[in-house]
Copies of this chain bind each other. A is one copy, B any other.
Amino acid sequence: MPELRKDPVSGRWVIIASDRNNRPNLFPKVGPSPRTDPAVCPFCPGHEEETPSELYALRAPGTRPDHAGWTVRSMPNKFPALRIEGDLNREGVGVYDKMNGVGAHEVIVETPNHDEDLVDLSPERIAAVFEVCQIRVNDLANDERFRYVLLFKNQGESAGASVGHAHTQLIATPVIPKRVLEELEGARYYYTHRERCIFCDIVKQELSDGKRLVDQTARFIALSPFAARFPFEVWVMPKPHQAAFRHVGPADRLEFATLLRRVLRRHALSIGNAAFNYMFHSSPFGLENNPEYHWHLEIIPRLTSVAGFEWGTGFYINPTPPEESAAAMRAVDPEPLARTMASSTGARETRE
């Protein structure tokens, strides 16, 4: 019998339909995306003139901005969804509302090496990527026009990536996005009735239950959520209450990176190099001391299609119960892969 489960924060219902595991072509999208040619890659060192000027980079002493020598580099997106210049000019058009598309759309290139993905980096290098992300978000927080910054990653063609070279993106918006508002409202409703953060309660319940636990460190937990929308969906979050990712300090950043690297390796060992998206969910600007809301990273592998039913209802049909996804990911050892991958691609020996 399938099960209907409700996400306690957003109120979203999910159909856990494990019978549909028997359906033909269950995961048609599995498989790595083809690598683009580094000779024409705009994110490779030496091609800096093909992107807008860099905003911030971690680079070797003595190297110049917009030249090689960087390890992590951020710049505006060449094809931005929103533009940094201008005022909002809110306007009504009959029954409709519109405003200028003011915002920021930036790229954070995670490595100078064209053949590396985030999963191939050391915890220290992953932590450095997120340090640059935080520096950019903290800079944008000073712009009074912006209410929210979303940090996200599209990896693989079917996840929407148009450039193969590993990168994270951010978009700053002049309104708080709908999904963020829904989560804030759900968390506030719970807090109002219980005076506890719902995410803190989820962490406690998942640690005690253990069925959906994927991995953990002293201060971070990775779990497949109770109302997972997708097979092998994983959320990573701090165990103690923290409302905003942009305020996370160096020690926690490294611990988070360590756990994220292990989760991505567990993913790779369980479902291959499937395309995925991740999105940081964090408190909006000005609400960073929020006792109700807890930042977390949501990772969604793109194994199944979102189709008419999902579009029409906002429900999701997930053929793999999160307990099965979590058990499969717990069963693999994330560390041997590191050695195997390094020796098979030669990435570590030749580049570090």
By beta carbon, the residue of chain B nearest A225 is B96
With beta carbons under 8 angstroms apart, the residue of B3, B4, B306 that contacts A160 is B306
**Residue numbers in B under 8 Å from A5 (CB-CB):** 96-98
- Nearest CB in chain B to that of A175: its residue: B13
- Identify which of B2, B22, B150 contacts A309 (C-beta below 8 A): B150
Question: A114 CA to B283 CA in the complex, in Å?
Answer: 52
The CA-CA distance from A139 to B303 in the complex, in Å, is 35
Residues of B within 8 A of A277 (CB): 307-308, 311
Contact between chains at A313 and B95 (CB < 8 Å): no
What are the residues of chain B within 8 A of A148 when measuring CB–CB?
313
Contact mask A65-76 → B, CB, 8 Å, 1/0? 000000000000
In the complex with contacts A2-B81, A19-B79, A100-B4, A314-B177 CB distance below 8 A:
yes
Name A150's closest neighbour in chain B (CB-CB).
B312
Q: How many residues of A contact B (CB 8 A)?
A: 82
User: A96 to chain B: which residues have CB within 8 Å?
Assistant: 5-6, 8, 205, 226-227
Stretch at the interface among A151-159, A238-246, A258-266: A151-159
Q: Of B157, B178, B209, B278, which one neighbours A315 at CB under 8 angstroms?
A: B178
Interchain CB contact under 8 A, A101 and B16: yes
With a cutoff of 8 Å between Cβ atoms, the chain B residues found around residue A337 in the complex are none
Whether the pair A308, B278 counts as a contact (CB closer than 8 A) is yes
In the complex, A190 Cα to B97 Cα: how many Å? 14
Chain A to chain B contacts (Cβ below 8 Å), 20 pairs: A1-B83, A4-B82, A4-B175, A5-B97, A11-B178, A12-B178, A17-B82, A19-B80, A20-B80, A150-B313, A152-B309, A152-B312, A154-B308, A160-B306, A171-B309, A173-B315, A177-B313, A178-B314, A179-B312, A179-B313
